[in-house]
Amino acid sequence: MIRGFALKEERMRFVPVFVAVSLCIAAAQPSQPTPTVTGIPYSADQLQEHTTLENGKPVNSAYVIGHFFRDSQGRARTESALKSSPAWRIEIRDPVAGFAYVLDDQNKVVYRTSTQVTASRPNASQATTVSLGTQAIAGVLAEGIRTTFLSPSGLPTLSVETWYSAELNVTMLTKSSNGYSSKLVNLRREEPDPVLFRPPADYTVVDR
């Protein structure tokens, strides 16, 4: 059960993995830090869709693979579906307190690490980009870029459209040439419940 949602969850035996998004991450390790965004609270669900052909006919599937929350102080909570598992990875980043938390709901443990700014790793992939202009997504203006990844010989292998909202400082929609897409739905602009940004009081804290 995902706290703070009236959304009815689908039962998931398997969650496909969208290109360039790794959902299967070591449970006790926080993801790479992202810039703190203050004064722009929001919450949304992440919906992944996939289209395949069966007997020459398109077959569509959709999965809720994430929930996102951010408050006015820049605290953020991310709930991500884990690959090949009905479990969810829950991570809280609190720049006010200076900590990041990864929750282990099964064992009632929270792994706490100090937040530090680290240098991002350069992308070794060869790619070309082209601007796609702007469009409104969920009532928010987003700017699109198509990135085409190239093989070592220079041939295109995959293209990905990314639609980014400068207003919210989030990616609203991503579409891949392999049939996967990922978009934010049920966007809400009000302040999320403060309890979402605190580890449960009855969890054991383990510092890393």
Enter the pTM of the model: 0.78
Pairing of strands 204-207, 76-81: unpaired
For the chain, give the longest Cα–Cα distance. 55
pLDDT value of position 27: 37
CB burial class (10 A; 0-12, 13-18, 19+) of residue 132?
A: middle
Cα–Cα distance, 27 to 167 (Å, whole number):
31
pLDDT digits (tens, 9 = 90+) for 135-171: 999 999 999 999 999 988 888 889 999 999 999 999 9
The per-residue pLDDT for range 3-36, each reduced to its tens digit, is 333 333 333 333 443 333 333 333 344 455 567 8
Q: What pLDDT is recorded for position 124?
A: 52
Q: 4-8, 42-46, 174-178: lowest mean pLDDT where?
A: 4-8
